[in-house]
Structure 1
Amino acid sequence: MTIPIRNLYYLFCYAWERYPENGAVEVGIEDCPDLPNLFAQVLVNGLNRLLRRGLDRQYLSAEDELRAPRGRLLLDETLKSGSLDRGAVVCRFDELSVDVLHNQLLKATVRLLRCDALVLPHLSAALSAVEKRLSWVSDIRVTTDLFSRVQLSRNTGQYGELLRLCEFVWRAAMPQEGGDGSRFGDIIRDEIRMSAIFELFVQNFFRLHAVGYTAGPENMRWNVDRNGSGDHSLIPIMRTDLTLRSDTRILVMDAKFYAEPFRWSHGAPKINSSHLYQLYAYLKHAGRGTTDKPVAGALVYASPRGRSIQRYQIDDHDVTVATIDLSQPWPAVHADMLDVLHPSSAATSDRQPTVPA
C-alpha cells in the first residue's frame, strides 16, 4: 500500500493523540522519503522542543563519598572504605536528576535511528546533536516492556507522544542478520502493526470530529439466557473498535487495514463475510436497553487504491462499508471519513473497488 509521507504523518499524529493545528505539518516532514526519516524528523523536532522547556527531573537515591556530609550517614561503609582517612564520609542522599527511564528511552531511540542506514545524513547529524545534549542521561539496553514501566504525570504529558513514537520504532526495528545493529522492516506491509495504528487513527479522528457523539471502544456481553446450564464464564466479551452514541443514534464501527480490503471470487470483489458477521453481532447487542435509538454499523477499510462508500440495509440496520483511499490528498481523506459518519447522497461514491492489476 502506497501512502504519501504527509498522510502517514497525519495518520500517526491522530493515532498518538497529537493533533496538528489547522492541518499544519512540522518543519522537514515533506522532505522525508520514508518512515525511518519521518520518525527521525518528528523525534528531532519533538526533542528540541522538550530540551527548550527542560528535561523532566526526578529525585533519585545516590550513594557517594563526600567531604561535606548530607543525607544519611552510612557509618559501616565509611569505616570499611577508609573514607575518614581522606577526610570524608559515605552518605546516601536524594539527588534531582534527568537520568530517569523516560529520558533514557528517548536517548536510546535517538541512537537507534541515528545508526539506521536509511536515515539521511542531515537527519543523522541532527540526531547526533540531540544525543550530545542528552549526555547526562545513561545508555540502556531497551526491551519493549520498559515502555509500560514509564509513569508520567500532568507535568510530563509532553513525553507521551514521543514515547509512543519510540515504542513503535523499537517494535518496528528488526534484527539484522548476524545480530549486529537493526534495520526497519517494511512497516506499511505489516498488517498487524498498521492495523493497530489505523484503529487508533479511526478512534481518535471521530473522538475529535464527531460533534454531538461520545466515542470510544466498548465491551459488550452476549445476551445469554441465565437459565442455561452452561458455564457463563466461558462466554467471551465482545469489544468494538469504536462505538459512537448521540441522543438520536448509535453507530458501531470496525476498522480494518489490509493490503486488499475485499476478497475476490470469480474476478469480482466481495466483502469479507467474517467481518460482516462480527459487525452484525455488535449491532444486535449495541442497542440493548435503548429501544428508541436506531443502531447503525460501519466497516472502515484503509484502501490501496480508490475510494468506495457502499450503503446497505440489513435487518433494519443501516450498514456502511467504506474504503478510505489513503493515497489521496488529506482533505479528501478527512471528507471521506466524515461521510462515513454523516451519510449524504451528494458525498457518496458508488464507485466499485478497482480490480488489482
Structure 2
Amino acid sequence: MSSVLESEEESAAAAQLAYDSIPVRNVWFLFLYAYDLARFQGRFAAEIEESPDFKSLIARLLCHAVETRLRRNLSFGYRHREETLKRVRGRIDILQTESRNLFRRGEIACRFEELTIDTPRNRLVRAALTVLGGRIHDSALAHRTSMLSGALGRVGVSGAMPSRAEMASDEIGRHEAQDSLMVSLARAVFDLVLPSERKGFRSLLRAQRGETEFRKLFERAIANFFAAELPREEGWRVYPGKHFNWPIGAASPGIQIHLPMMVTDIIVENEQVGRRIIIDTKFTKILTRSQFGDSQRFKTGHIYQLYSYLRSQERESDPRSLISEGILLYPAIGFDMDEVAELQGHLVRFVTIDLALPSAEVVARLRQLLLLTGLSATMPERA
C-alpha cells in the first residue's frame, strides 16, 4: 500500500509547503480567474504589496469595495412579502382574506414586492465583514471592518447570513461590476479565508483544511483561465467537473452503489481538430520518494487515476476517446517540470506551474501549456 499512496503526514506536509510559499500576488491572480474577475487584474497593486497574507488582502479589498459602494449608494433589490394591511397593496390573497374573515375587521391579506436595501448580497457582505473583524491580527484593519459592518447596519442591512437559495436568486448583472467584486470577496471569506469548522466524518488539521480550499481555488482558476484563453470561434470548449461512467458490462445488482465516481477536474475539447485533453489538477508536490527511498518518482495514485479516466472512456463510436490526452498539473515553488510519454495511444504529461514567478510569467507559462499540449518539443517524434 505504501508504494501506491503517500502517508497522510507526508501529504499534509507537502501541501503546507506549497500553501505557505505562494506569494500573495499569485493567490490574488488565482482568485481573479476562479471567481471570473479577470478584468480586475492589474488593479490594487498597492494593496497586494502591503498585505502580508491572503486574509489581510481580502479584508483590505473588501473594505475598499464596501466604502466605494457606500459613497455611491448600495444596490437595492425586491423581496417578496405577505402582510395583512388596511388597504390594498400588490395582489389580494383571497384565500387568506376569506378564511381569516379579515373583511369584518376592515383588513385585507396582500402579497407584494418591496424595494429594499436588505438584499442577500448586502447581507453576505456584512456577515463577511463581521467575521473578518474577529479573525484579523491587524487591529487597525479589524477596526475598519467592524466600522463598515456597523455602517451597513445603520443603512438597513441586517446581520443575518443569506441562504444559498437566496444568493442563487440574487443574480448580479454585467453592469454591476463593483457589486460583483464586493460579493466575490465576501464569498472568499467563507470559501477560502475561513474554512468550515462544521463536524464531519473526518478530522482535518488546519493545514489540511487550507490545502483543500486552495486546491479548489487552483482547479477553478485553471479551468476559467483555459475557458478565457482558448478561442471559442476555433472550436475550443472547456468543461469543468465532468462525470464519467464506468464501462460496465455484466454486473451484480449492487455494484453501482459501491463503485467510486469518476469526476474529472477539467476537460478541453476541440471538435474541429479532433482533440480531447483531460486535465487533473493537484495541489501537492509533483514528486514523492520511491518505496525504497533512493529516488523520487511521480505519484502512483495520480497516474492510476488519470489512466483510468483515459482508458475507461475508450469507445469505437467516439474517435477522440481513443487518442485523448491527459495532463497532471501541479503548482510548484521555484521548480519547473514538463515530462511527457505515450501510454497505449494516449499522451500523458506531468507539468508544474511555478507560482513563485511574477504573475505575468505564470500567465505566459499557462498559455505555453495550451500551445504545447499534444506532441510538444519535449516529446520525441514518433517513428
The TM-score bracket by the shorter chain reads: 0.7 to 0.9
2:280 to 254, 268, 271: 254
* 2:66 alignment counterpart: 47
C-alpha distance in 1 between matches for 2:83 and 2:36: 40
Q: Would you say the 8 A contact 1:326–1:333 is kept in 2? A: yes
* 2:296 alignment counterpart: 269
Aligned AA for 2:264? T
User: What do residues 301-337 of structure 1 show as CA deviations (whole Å, max 9, x unaligned)?
Assistant: 1113312111222222211111211111112211222
1:221 to 245, 249, 255: 245
Q: Would you say the 8 A contact 1:187–1:194 is kept in 2? A: no
* 1:7 alignment counterpart: 26
C-alpha distance in 2 between matches for 1:253 and 1:175: 27
Work out the percentage of aligned pairs sharing the same amino acid.
Answer: 21
Q: Would you say the 8 A contact 1:298–1:340 is kept in 2? A: no
1:244 to 255, 268, 279: 268
3-state SS of 1:283 partner: helix
* 1:323 alignment counterpart: 352
Superposed CA RMSD: 3.8
C-alpha distance in 1 between matches for 2:82 and 2:138: 38
Aligned AA for 2:371? H
* 2:53 alignment counterpart: 34
C-alpha distance in 1 between matches for 2:222 and 2:196: 31
The structure that is helix-richer by fraction is 2
Q: Would you say the 8 A contact 1:241–1:254 is kept in 2? A: yes
Q: Does 1:280 align with 2:307?
A: yes
Aligned AA for 1:196? K
Q: CA deviation at 1:24?
A: 3.9
Q: CA deviation at 1:232?
A: 6.0
Q: CA deviation at 1:122?
A: 5.1
Q: 1:22 to 1:196 in 2, by over 3 A?
A: closer
Q: Would you say the 8 A contact 1:44–1:126 is kept in 2? A: yes
* 1:147 alignment counterpart: 164
Q: Does 1:201 align with 2:224?
A: no
Q: Would you say the 8 A contact 1:17–1:161 is kept in 2? A: no
Q: 1:221 to 1:64 in 2, by over 3 A?
A: closer
How many residue pairs match? The answer is 328
* 2:135 alignment counterpart: 116
TM-score, reference length from structure 2:
0.72
Q: CA deviation at 1:196?
A: 0.9
C-alpha distance in 2 between matches for 1:329 and 1:42: 21
C-alpha distance in 1 between matches for 2:276 and 2:111: 57
C-alpha distance in 2 between matches for 1:339 and 1:50: 39
Aligned AA for 2:311? K
C-alpha distance in 2 between matches for 1:322 and 1:334: 15
C-alpha distance in 2 between matches for 1:174 and 1:236: 26
Q: CA deviation at 1:204?
A: 0.6
Aligned AA for 1:112? V
Q: CA deviation at 1:341?
A: 2.2
Q: Would you say the 8 A contact 2:75–2:117 is kept in 1? A: yes
Structure 1: gaps of 5 or more residues: 177-184, 350-357
Q: Would you say the 8 A contact 1:339–1:347 is kept in 2? A: no
Structure 2: gaps of 5 or more residues: 1-17, 198-204
3-state SS of 1:55 partner: coil
